[in-house]
Chain A
């Protein structure tokens, strides 16, 4: 995305996910990537329902990875 670039989003998110330090870097990176992906997906012009389903899938994917990532701090 040209607007607040994904890199800048990642920077902003990266500053905030320090708060989630106890979850480990894998989780923080996953959370950052998920948020960037969700925000980027806003540009694709899909319906609310479609977007929210997609967000849920992203969250579920991240949730499925979480047990693995919890131990990598």
Chain B
């Protein structure tokens, strides 16, 4: 943090005071010249209040009014402090801020007042304007921790009592330790290390929990599955190749067989011959049966009827002629009588009573009774012939007729005979064909083909089995790939967690390592630098001014392991800072400690000290001023020193101030007229104001009666700032 300017309004007697700070690296010092009672302490408090609020004020000042005691009761007054400063991060990026803390206070009685809540605003100044910063108090605390306000904003008395005074050894030790721990960030680091350690434990537990399956076993199983698949694929290829070779061989044999036979299979020929012979036998039997039936038909009644048919027709014709000529009725009386009695004519007609046919028969009966015996015979013959003719007619009309049967038998016989001839021819051709084949070779080839067919079938079965095996292996592969994939994902997650755990472990080790460095190396560096500065201030043993201390005994100052600041003498004693150090030594030691601590820590906070050189004079004063205002080396961060100095403190140090101070102002109080101030300000109430007079000059506002004693020259050109 580098202070740029500040404005204090209505804070105690500081009605409206503006300050400009030196921001030059080679002139880190800003001097505010002010005599006792001019408002130095108020100004210091104003800065403490601005940065830390009421808690930043010394305990005794917290309950006192912030406004001037001259403010009338009942008059609400706004107290405000505005500080503009610059923050530069470790990358060298700078940003300007404006801090404004204000409060409205209304005095109600001599020591009583009403206060409204404090208001704080932190603005980041950019090219476009001012951006409010959230959490202003927290941000300020990060830059200037509350607990170190006594280090940054202090006074000579506090500096003197920092390591001694009216505090116990434990409290003093704690104060030193706190300063070291805060400025070196040891506590911060310790908390960070604890947080990292917690994260490490958490990640370690997480990593142990996730564990991650060992994928090597799954990978081996998958490799085995793939190997089995490869083997199965190779076996399958071999089987298929073998099957193809066998099929090719079979085709060759088959072609040879077919080529040799020319027309077909031997077995088929044999089979056809066998079938033809059976058919021939069947036809033979059919023809024989037909012949037998033909013979039988010649012995049959039908044949007799057919044979006598001509004679019968001839006789029927003759008898019909005899009947036409009435030579006969060939019926006898008895017959006619019987017919009449039966009611049916021999021709089959009905002889019902009173029917015409009956009457005709009755007449015939009468006629017949007078015919001769010959005629009787002829008549009987005629009747017999007519019945035979009717029978022959019925037979002819039925399927039993001989011609029909004879035609059928002839057809059957003819068909069987034709079939026999055809079969005989077919058999002859087949036997001729069979006779042309080399039956031994055929049998051999056929046997080979049958053999290879069996092998092909076996190979087909083996291929099927191998394909099933391959499919199962591929299923196993899929399952194992999925399992491996899941395990690898798990392992990947586990690996990531393990990686984070390792990072956390590295960070844990690193934080612990850095902590050891800070508590060891850095404290040692502070100790050594403090010794160097202290010795520089108190002077070398041969320095005559060393006697100013009356302590030529100082051999070494250092910080021990318990954070005690120790002062060792050449005669081997360790001095008690409370009782064995004078005021100048105490201030020198405290400033050496603070400066070395800030230098080693690289802290860039301004150091504002009120009356640091009181009780110090001569060479010690010069060396002390020199030590705390020496511009930083190029390797060290820049810093600011704001010293509130009286004319007495400035005396004899003018030349040093000339070189180190980049800004000098003078603060005065109207109350000092006429006793100390030469000129009246014409103010009706006490007020402190600041002018631009440096340590060598004065003006109408700051000129004091004893300025001559300090070599201060009145210059009317110097002016009032505020």
Tell me the smallest distance from the CB of A50 to a CB of chain B, in Å. Answer: 10
B510 touches A5 (CB 8 A): no
In B84-119, which residues have CB < 8 Å from any A CB? 89-91
CB within 8 Å of B: which of A4-27? 4-10, 12-13, 15-17, 19-20, 23
B residues less than 8 Å from A41 (CB atoms): 192
Q: Which of B59-67, B232-240, B331-339, B600-608 contacts A (4 or more CB under 8 A)?
A: B600-608
Nearest opposing residue in chain B for A41, CB measure: B192
**Smallest Cβ distance from B512 to chain A, in angstroms?**
10
Name the A residues within 8 Å of B605 (CB-CB). Answer: 2
B637 in contact with A7 (CB, 8 Å): yes
Interfacial chain B residues near A51, Cβ < 8 Å: 191, 195
> Which residues of chain A have C-beta atoms less than 8 A from B188's C-beta?
1, 3-4, 39, 42-43
Contact at B199–A2, with CB atoms within 8 Å?
Answer: no
B507 within 8 A of A: yes
Which residues on A sit within 8 Å (CB–CB) of B141?
43, 45
- Check A63–B506 contact: CB distance below 8 A: no
Distance A60 CA – B511 CA, assembled complex (angstroms): 17
**Chain B's nearest CB lies how many Å from the CB of A37?**
10
From known contacts A1-B143, A3-B145, A4-B602, infer whether A16 and B514 are also in contact, taking CB-CB under 8 Å: yes
CB contacts (< 8 Å) of B514 on chain A: these are: 9, 12-13, 16, 35
- The answer to whether B316 has its CB under 8 Å from any CB of chain A is no
A34 to B195 alpha-carbon distance, docked (Å): 13
The reply to whether B507 and A34 form a contact with Cβ atoms under 8 Å apart is yes
Asked if A55 meets B196 with Cβ closer than 8 Å, knowing A2-B603, A12-B518, the reply is yes
Interface string of B349-381 (1 = CB under 8 A from A): 000000000000000000000000000000000
> What residues on B are CB-neighbors of A52 within 8 Å?
195, 198-199, 202
Instruction: Using C-beta atoms within 8 Å of the partner chain, give the interface range for chain B.
Output: 35 or more
Measured in the bound complex, the distance between the Cα atoms of B404 and A32 in whole Å is 130
A2 touches B198 (CB 8 A): no
The docked-state distance in angstroms from the alpha carbon of A46 to that of B189 is 15
| Nearest-neighbor residue (CB-CB) of A1 within chain B | B142
Cα A13 to Cα B509 in complex, Å, equals 11
Beta-carbon contact of A63 and B189 below 8 Å: no
The interface residues of chain B lying within 8 Å CB-to-CB of A20 are: 506, 510
Known: A45-B138, A55-B199. A3 touches B184 (CB 8 A): yes
Nearest residue, chain B, Cβ from A48:
B195
- B565 contacts chain A at the CB level, 8 A cutoff: no
Interface string of B186-213 (1 = CB under 8 A from A): 0011011001101100110000000000
Docked complex Cα distance between A59 and B182 (Å): 25
Chain B, Cβ-Cβ closest to A42: B188
- Are A59 and B504 within 8 A (Cβ)? yes
Q: How far is the CA of A15 from the CA of B525 in the complex (A)?
A: 15
| Partner among A8, A35, A62 whose Cβ is within 8 Å of the Cβ of B601 | A8
Shortest CB distance A4–B (Å):
3
A55 to B199, CA, bound (A): 7
Q: B425 interface residue, CB < 8 Å from A?
A: no
Contact, CB under 8 Å: A2 / B1: yes
Shortest C-beta distance, A70 to chain B (Å), equals 10
B143's contact among A2, A31, A60, by CB below 8 Å, is which? A2
Tell me, yes or no, whether B185 is within 8 Å of chain A by CB: yes
B contact residues vs A (CB 8 Å cutoff) = 1, 89-91, 135, 138, 141-145, 148, 182-185, 188-189, 191-192, 195-196, 198-199, 202-203, 496, 499-500, 502-504, 506-507, 510-511, 513-514, 517-518, 522, 601-605, 637
Of the A-B pairs whose beta carbons lie under 8 Å apart in the complex, a sample of 14, sorted by A's number, is A1-B188, A2-B142, A3-B185, A4-B518, A12-B517, A13-B510, A13-B514, A19-B513, A31-B510, A35-B507, A39-B188, A45-B141, A63-B502, A66-B502
Which residues of chain A have a CB within 8 Å of any CB of chain B?
A: 1-10, 12-13, 15-17, 19-20, 23, 31, 34-36, 38-39, 41-45, 48, 51-52, 55-56, 59-60, 62-64, 66-67
